Every structure is written in structure tokens, then in C-alpha cells.
Structure 1
């Protein structure tokens, strides 16, 4: 594998000193992720000190480290390893000739990032790079930048925030040529006085745009004009996407098919018909944002359409599992990674569209970080649950008490305190032909329920 960084380059980027010459092919700050030839960044935190794991990462095959305390492993010595991580990410961005795309939003940013990576990488495998998992914060973003191969043609970086000012700092590190806001919704509402403030914070992504850059904005959002105003001082071009008349990238026809959705879309100077390998209106919106970005960076639209058709659901974000049961099988839709009011409503609508299901079962965990309006947000889920023709709901967590009260006798439900109780209840009642949606904030732990149902736990 080609060298990602040499010790000389690392030392120059971080203003450090190398103990010996070495080359690395990867970068990590989690000792559990270290592989052969990697660079280990020994971060210091409140609960742990990465320097304690230097022997462990050397045994795992690390080729070198960035440290502030020295050690036997070949290393670059710096004053502050956290600053060094940012410096390395900044140096990676400075040397790269790739077209860079930044993605944020209250919902859909990880899915859009993954779909966009697949679309850009489809013509030639290995030409695109993206942040992995949900590495979208003040440590994940510079790490993702530091991992970008020097020869990459495209880089896709997810950026998240839970407070004003965070995205402004991240986007100035990423310096995207294209910046996308997928949608605005009351995620992290606990930290903001209003959704308008959330839109302002998401709009910070445009502040890092490179000269001549493009801002991509959701046309159908009630905050469209607010986002456009946020982009205007920084973007040479603003592109909208959506279903409404007037969107620059617009779906003309949306037709459910056996394995997803068929879309006919119009773009500036082009038209495209393609299939998404996922059902649901929220995926239509994600796909339109992807197509808009691919066109903005001069990517291959035809290959992007093929990539969207090939997409499979990610663990915790739409993965679909068929589980064998006596007398048949059931469908488990894994949306267990996160939840907010908008994503809950969208995925419940997808569950409602499972027309061949014998029963529709929704296993819904509490939505966290919603602030003083939490009870109202939870209670408001009664309407999309009823609209989805849910036959039984398993409500998980204390916050779901407000929804239990709102449902009353409208929908059959069980309210349980935790994921373990929900797992026991689900195992009792699930039968062949059922479609089961599992969704909740990650801290509720419904991923363990999914693992138990599909035989992974």
C-alpha cells in the first residue's frame, strides 16, 4: 500500500520532531482500530491517556505514533497531540487536489455522505474518500481529513454540531468546494431556543466554502430562504433540491418499485432516471442532494445512478434483515442508531408502506436531547403511528410515557422501561409475515435488540 504519511511530513505538519524515519498507511487515535502500518495518535482525555496503549498498538502493527511523552515506538514528539491531530488534518487538506464536499443536516447526513461516496467512487474504485462511521465532530473530522489518500480525487466529509459555532470551526478545517444541508429538524433541540437557531447553526457550513464554491440547500424546507441567506455571502452558486416546483434538482416522478424507488429527475442542463435501493420519501430527498453534489463537482451522473441502485442499508440506518421463524419469516428494519421527530415520522411512513406485511410492529425508543418540549415531541408521534397503520407499538424508555398517554386506545401498545424488556416482549409476539421497525436514540440501546432478533447477539 502507498505511504499515507512519512515521519518527515508528520513532523513538518505538526511542528514536532521525529525519533526515527518511518512511513504509515493509516491513522487512528483509538488503540482498538490500529492495524498493520498505521499511525497512532496518543490523545489525552478526561478519562484516559493514549500513551498507556503504546505497547499495545506496537504489538498490533503500528508503524509510528504522535506522542507528547516519548516511548519506544518510532514517533513524532509534539507538545499537544490534540493540536497535532488538527494540524495533520489541515496539512492533508492543503496538499490534496481532491474536490471536497461537506455534508451536514439534522437528519440524513450520514446516509447522504455514504451514498455520495458510493456515487463518486463508482466510476473508478478508490478515487473517493469519506469520513467513516459518524466521525463528524472536533476529533472525527480532522482524523477523517488526515486519513485522506494523497491521490484522492474526491473527499466527502460529514460535519455535525450540538452548539452554535461548532460547524463554523469544522467547515473552515474541511474547506469544501461543495457544502450540503440535507434537512433541518429538532435534533439536539435541548441546546437551541428554536428550530430557526438550528437552521442558523447548520448554515455555518457555508462559511468554509472555497472561492467559487457551491451551496446545496433543501428546497422543500421551511428554512430554505434562511439557509440561502446564510450561503449568499460565501457561495458562488446556490443549488436547491427537492420535490417542489422551482427546485433546481427536482424529482419529476417518484414510483415505488420492488426494491426501492424509481426517480425521474431534472437537473440544470440534464435529466436522469435512476433507482434508489431504499424505499421512503426521505431517501428520495437524500438522493436528489447526492445528484446535485455529483453534478457540482463534475462527477459521472450515470455512474451515480448505478451506485444509488446498488446501495444497501447501513447498520442502524435502514439495514433490512429477513429473519427465519416457524412458518415463515419476518422483516426487521434497523433504524436503531438515532432518532428525532422528523426521522421518526419518515421511517414510520416507510413502515406503513410495507403493504404485504401481516402486521406492522414499531419498536420505538426515546428521543433524547429534545429539551423542554420533549413530552410534546414524543406525544406528536401518535399521529404518524396511526397513519402508518401500526398494529402494535413497543415503546421503550421513560420519555415514551408521553406518547403512551397520547396513544390511549388508538393503537395497541406496550410501554417498557428498557431495551432488554423490549427484546423480551418482541420475542414473545413477533410472527411470520410481520414487518418490524426498530428506531430510537442510540443511547436507548436498541441496537442490541436488533442483534438479538437477527441472530447477531
Structure 2
């Protein structure tokens, strides 16, 4: 008689297959199940984003209370709701849905298996890109068992929501955390409780709320307060605030890893060369990280020197989390464009070089002085018949706003930008700076115009004199509140294939 062998039981078989059951939600939040038990496969706070089987969390809002949209959420397929008011649908009722969301996020973090690793990412720029690259790397090596916060869900609502969406079987969780005031990250990191905490860079983003960059660095360093025992802090070696970051990290982290180009970096850039198919071929030295001195060569698909340095942070975090560096290298080589953060589109364009196509670089989601400089520099390395920039105002820069805007004149000249559309009242300072340069003998000339808003910029780019032409490369970047995303949408409504093999590649520029 043939023996029947039992299927081996693994540790990750214990968690249920549903994301949450009603009884789980009630236990986590202290609420009461009403209308019978239910199970959900996702979580949403916007009824318009509800998918079949989701939990709809009705949050109070400044403009509208989420409880008004409970019926609509169920029409879209919600399986249950988390509410603080009476409802006719299956739900868990709590006293405060905001507090309940925090509790649900805390419970999601607490139920992870002991071997799971959580990574927190913050910084003045590059947070979302590094988070997405980490997810791609760790999801690849774990065969789909990585989870991350989507979009830029990095605030007091987005972080607990992202945690609540994390399956109990996840081997890796990657969470972006943002702030614009001191104390915010201290709260968020206690929810995430990372094993690895990454600071991408320090720059004068939101400096209007701080006394200076050192204060921003101190606020970013709050992320280390949530590090778990034995945790690792990853900090930018090239930052002038590296000593401050290292000092704070040393209080909370068992290991501090510095990444960058500086001689003392633990993960250090050795070489960066343009790759044949675009992007950059990177050679990095890992020092004592990941088992001893070694060198690693990999390709970064995303253009720009900032992505080269960001990739070092990604590799350091993968090593610290026990991930596969080989898989991480492959993920970086195949990393897709990020909407609003460097996505490249081929758009229909007449005249010009006769190719019928122009390159649009979408950086419309956010902007600060540091990210403006690196993306303008990346535009300067992009092959194009003409280089154009549509630059929106940088917000929350306080009393130094005029100076930060005016200082963009030099990077524009260095990048060989031919035409610039300046959007928003704050850009008056840059318009003045460019105007002064135009009067200087032998100075490079930049054709520029200053408009009040994104709608006017769209009208301008639709006119014969300013419409994109074949062979152009067009950078669109500004603070999200300027609304340049609508301009990107308008220009990309008539997209085409990616054109010639060299279309939009980085390399020696052709003016």
C-alpha cells in the first residue's frame, strides 16, 4: 500500500488568505461587527477607487465626510465598511475611523512573520523612485511577496492605509514617509517600525517651515526613531549634513551605511558610463556591506546622475534587508518610468527635424531646488534638436523663495536649454534673472516667457510659435499644486510609438 505523505507546512501558511475579515478588523480597532461577518481583499478611502471585495474606510474630511459615500462604495463592489455612523451594509463600527485606520495599520505591521523585513524611505527628493526601485528588486527576488505604498501615500493617512493593505504573508514591506513639519516622521516611523530606514537626500524642500537645511535634516532623521533592534540606517555620504544624520542614526541603529561618491562611503560609486541602450552602467564598491569588500556592476534604466546615486541607496537597502543583489540589479535595469517623476512620452510634433515626434519628460508631480537642478541637468544630457523646459513654481520655500528660483538660471544655461516657459508668480524672480543674463555680452541666450498659470502655459504651447516641434525634448516640472500634470495630459493625448532607437536617450547633446 502506498503511503500518503502530508503536504509540508510552512510558517507562512498560518495567515489566512483574506486580507482582513470583519472579526480581524473589529479586534484590531476595538469596533463591533454589524450585519454579519465578511472578508475583504483590499482597502480604500476614496469611494471612486473602490474595487470588488474592498473594505471602504469612511474618513471625515474638510470638504466632505466619507460616510456620505458608503452606498456608492458598495455599488462599486465593496465587501464591507469601517464606519463611525450607522450604515445598512455589512460593516465594523468604531468611535473614530481615523484612529481605527491607525490601529488597522498597526495590526497589519504586528502580524507580519518574524522573518519579514520592513523598509522605510524618506528624504527631500527621490523617495518615491527609491521606494519603487526597492519594491521591484525585492518583489522579484521574493517572487511576488513584497508590498509597498502606492503613489505617494506618505502622510498621516497614506502610511497607515498602506500598512493596512499589506498582506500578512508579505516577506518585504517598503513604505515611503514624508513630512513638511518637525515631528511628523517621529509619529509615522512608530507605525512602520522599519528594520531598514533610508534617507535619500537633504535639500531645501518645505524650507519655509524650517529654520534651515540642518533643521530639515534633523526632521528627516526622526525616521531612525522607529528602527527595530538590530536595524540599519542608510544615509547619503555626499550630503553636507551626513554627520548630523550619522549622529542621530547612531542612537537608534545597530548599523549605519553611507552611500554615495564620497571616499568614506560604504556603498561607493566607482564609475558611471552611458549604457548602449540608454540609462547608465554603474560600478559600485560595497565595502563591508553584504559580507565584505566587493564590486558590483549593474545598469540603471532611468536617466540622470541622481538615479545613479539613488541606485546606491537601493542596493544598500536590499543588502541590509537580506535581499538578492543580483535580482536588484536586474530590476534597476528594467525599472519602468514613473508618472510625474521622469516618465518619458513620445508625442506628435510637426515641423522641426521632420521626425514627427518630440520627447516629453514628465516631472510634473513635485519640485524643489535640488530636484529642479538634477532634472535640468538630465535634460542637458538628452539628445535633442532643441531643449525646452516648462518650469512651475517651487512652493513652501519661505522668505528665500526668490533666491532659489533665480538660482535656476545657471543650471538652465549649463544644460543648453533653448526655450523656457515659466509658470506661476514665484517664477518672476527667475524671469528677471534670465532677463539680466540676456543683456550680458556673449552670454548664451534663452528664449523665455513668464505666464501666470498652467492653463495659460497650455494655450501658449498650442500656439504656432511655441508648439513642440519634431526633435524637441521638453521637460515639464513644478510643484504639484501648480497643476502641470494637466498640461502633460493634454500634450500626451496624441501619443505615438517610441520612435527611432535614439529617441530620448541620454548622451552627448546635439544643440
TM-score, with normalisation over the residues of structure 2?
A: 0.88
Map of 1:7-156 to 2, 5 A cutoff?
A: 7-19=22-34, 20-97=36-113, 98-156=116-174
Moved more, 420-429 or 80-89: 420-429
- The residue aligned with 2:9 is none
- The residue aligned with 1:6 is 21
| 1:417-449 deviation per Cα after TM superposition (whole angstroms, max 9, x unaligned) | 111221222233221111111100111111111
| 1:22-60 deviation per Cα after TM superposition (whole angstroms, max 9, x unaligned) | 111101111111111111111112221111111111111
- The residue aligned with 1:348 is 376
Find 1:158's aligned residue among 172, 176, 184: 176
**Counterpart Cα distance in 2 of 1:42 and 1:454:** 35
| 1:57-77 deviation per Cα after TM superposition (whole angstroms, max 9, x unaligned) | 111111111111121111111
Find 1:311's aligned residue among 335, 345, 360: 335
CA RMSD of aligned residues (A): 1.2
The offset of 1:456, in angstroms, is: 6.4
The offset of 1:292, in angstroms, is: 0.2
SS across alignment from 1:334? strand
List, as ranges, runs of 4+ consecutive aligned residues in structure 1 with deviation greater than 6 Å.
none
| 1:102-127 deviation per Cα after TM superposition (whole angstroms, max 9, x unaligned) | 00000000111011100111124421
Asked whether 1:399 is paired with 2:422, we answer no
- Is residue 379–residue 402 contact of structure 1 (8 Å, CA) maintained in 2? yes
The offset of 1:10, in angstroms, is: 0.6
Find 1:321's aligned residue among 340, 345, 353: 345
Asked whether 1:200 is paired with 2:235, we answer no
SS across alignment from 2:252? coil
**Counterpart Cα distance in 1 of 2:177 and 2:221:** 12
| 1:278-313 deviation per Cα after TM superposition (whole angstroms, max 9, x unaligned) | 111110111110000000011010000000000121
Count of equivalent residues? 456
SS across alignment from 2:389? strand
TM-score, with normalisation over the residues of structure 1?
A: 0.98
- Is residue 142–residue 171 contact of structure 2 (8 Å, CA) maintained in 1? no
The offset of 1:401, in angstroms, is: 0.4
**Counterpart Cα distance in 2 of 1:137 and 1:340:** 18
Find 2:366's aligned residue among 338, 349, 354: 338
**Counterpart Cα distance in 2 of 1:296 and 1:266:** 15
Q: Which runs of 5+ in 2 are unaligned?
A: 1-15, 439-444, 496-511
SS across alignment from 2:246? helix
